[in-house]
Structure 1
C-alpha cells in the first residue's frame, strides 16, 4: 500500500473515532438521577469501523468494480467480520462472508428474522445521508441465530460498502443508560416520549433493551417497547412464566422506595426464550419508568 493510501486511511480512521467520541460525549450529558453511563465501544464495534474505513478507501481509490476484491482478499476479513457491498439499486454485489450466496440478487425485499426490510432501510439512509448504521436481527453463523446485528455502511458513488457485527448481550450499564435517556425524554415531553417508547422502530429499542412505563395509580401499562399490545392492561392480569405476580411486586417496590432494581423471569424478545431479567426502575410524576436487561436462566 503506498504512502498516500496510508495517510488517507489514517485521516479517515481519526475522523471515525473522533465522531464516535463526540457521540459518546453527547450520550453522557444526561444527568437524570445520576444513572448515565458513557458509551464504550466494544472491540467488535471498533474492528468493524476500522475494517469499513479500509474498504471504503479501497473503493474510493480503485473504483466501484474493486468491490469484487471483498470476495477473496484476506485484508477485508477480520476473524468473524467481513465486508460486503450492494448497489443503491438493491443488487447485492460482493461479500467476504456467508452472505456471498446473495451476490447477484436484489435484496430490496429481504427481511430479517422479524420481518424488517433492513437492506431497504440501509439504501434509503445511504442515499439520503451518505453513511450510517442499521440494526436488525440476523443469523450469526458462529453460534447464534436471530440475534441483534449492527451494520455500519458508507456510500461510494452507486455502491454501498458495509461491515456488520453481532454486539455482545446488553448489560447493566446499557440498561441504565437507556433508562436515563428515557427519563430525560419524559421530563421534556411525557406524551411524546410514551408514543416513542411504543414505537418498535423508534430510538428507544436497543437490541433486547426497551422501555416500559406504568401508571402508579391505575397499575396499567402506558408503554411497552417490546409488546405495545400490553398498553392498557393491568398489573394483576399478567404473571411471569413461572407464575409470579411480578408487576404487582414491582409496583409495590416502586411505591416504597421510588427507585431500584427488580429481578424476575421474562420472555426475551430477541432470543424468544424465558430468561432472568434485572429491571432498573424510577418513579417520575407518579409514573414508573423501567428498563431491564436479560441473563440466561435455567428456564431457557
Structure 2
C-alpha cells in the first residue's frame, strides 16, 4: 500500500509484481469475494495450526517442568515444523525467561520481562494469545503467539515468535498470483502488518505523515472500525505517475484476541501505461560491463555536479541516465531512496530490511557493498519490459561519497528465479536442523559430519556448508580442497562476493542470499538460493536450492 500526500483520497496498493493494468476482469473462480474469503480462511488455518503446536509444547512443559529436556526438544521440533518462525521462549509466572530456543538467544534466559505489557497480559489472562506486533527481546518486531503452561497450578507460558507479514504472505501470495488483485493487512490500531510493498510494513495509518489527508483518514477509520466492507479510493498507477481508482474489499482474520483487517484491492481505471525502463533498445551483449561503466559514469557525474543537480538528472525518466534497459538509481547509505526514475513514489522512503520475493534483503546488501567500496549483488525485481514479471537482476553499486551511492541493474535472461514455498521451507528446515546439530556437537565434530560424503548432510545439491565469520572454510563436502582456506572476497562468475554476503546475512541473525556456484548434481555452475544461520558468533552453516534454467 503506497500513498502520496498530494492526493486527497490516495491509498496506494503496490502492483509492481502483479503486471495488471486494471482493465482485466476476474473470472468467477477468482472473484474478489472468493479471494478475500480464501485469504481469511487460510490465515486462520495457519494461526490455528500454530496454536495447536504451541499448545502441545505447553502440555509437555507442564509434565517435564519449565526447564525440562523434553520441553526443550519439543520447542526445537516446533521451530523446525514452522521454519519461518524465529524463536520460542518459556516465561515463568513471575515474568522471568527460563528457556530460549534456538540457543542463539540464550542470553535472554534469566531476563526479567515482567515489565512488558505482553508478558503481563499472558500471565494475567492465562489463555492462548496472539499478541499485537511489539519489539521482541530477540531483536526484531514481531508477534508472540503464546499458550499457558499448567502443572498442578499455573506455571507460566510458552510462545513462538514470528513476523506476521511472513505468515500472511505465505497464504495471500499464491491466492493473488496471476489475478488482478493486490493485498495489504492492518491491526485495528492502524499498524500495517502486511503489504505487497514491503516498505509499507510497520507504518501506522493514523500517524504516518503521508497518510494525513482527510479522505485517507476517513477511509482508514472505516477499515479498522468495521469488521468487513468495501470502498473505492485513489492510488498511483503501476508507474507511480498518475491517479487511478481502486476498489477494495476487506474482512477480518485472527484468533485468540487478534483482529487483522485483510484488504483485497483491484484497479478500475488504470489507463494507458507511460514509458517504462526496458521499453527501449535491448541490452547489449556485453550488458554487464556496460552497466558497470554506466554506474561509474553516474558516480563521477555526481561528484562533479553535486547531489541536488545529480539527483534531478537521475530522476528524469527522459534524461541521459536512462538508456534502454539501464537506468540509474540512488540511495543514501542508510537505505533511503534518493532516485528511482520510474518509481518516484518511493523517493524518500527508508527501504532497509526490504526483501525480494524470495526473502533476499537486497537493499541492505546494496548498502553494505556500496559502503565497502562498491560491487555486484543479485535480486529479483519486476521487469516492466515483460509485464512486470519477477525476474533475476544483476545489480552494480558504487559510492559517490560516504553518504550516498548510485547503481543500476540488468536482467539475466534464461535463469529461473522462482522458488516455491515448499522449497524454501525445506531449505530453512535443513539449515536449522544442521545449526541445532552443530550447537549440540560443537564445531569440530559437526564440521566433520558435514564433510562426510557418506553421511546424511552431503546430499548432492542440498549439501550443508559451513564457514567461520572470518571467511575460513569449515565444511564444503564436494570441494574438500578448500577446507581450511580463507575465502573472504571470493567472487562468483558475475562478480558477486558470495562468501562476504553469506557472512553478513549470518551476522544479521540469518537470511537468504543468491550465489552462482558449482552444483554437484550437474557438474556445472547454477544460480542458487542459499539460507544461512549462525551457530554462534564465530561460525555459521548454510545450504541452498538451485534454480531451474528457463
Where on the TM-score scale, by shorter chain, does this alignment land: which range?
0.3 to 0.5
Larger radius of gyration: 2
After TM superposition, the score normalised by the length of structure 2 is: 0.27
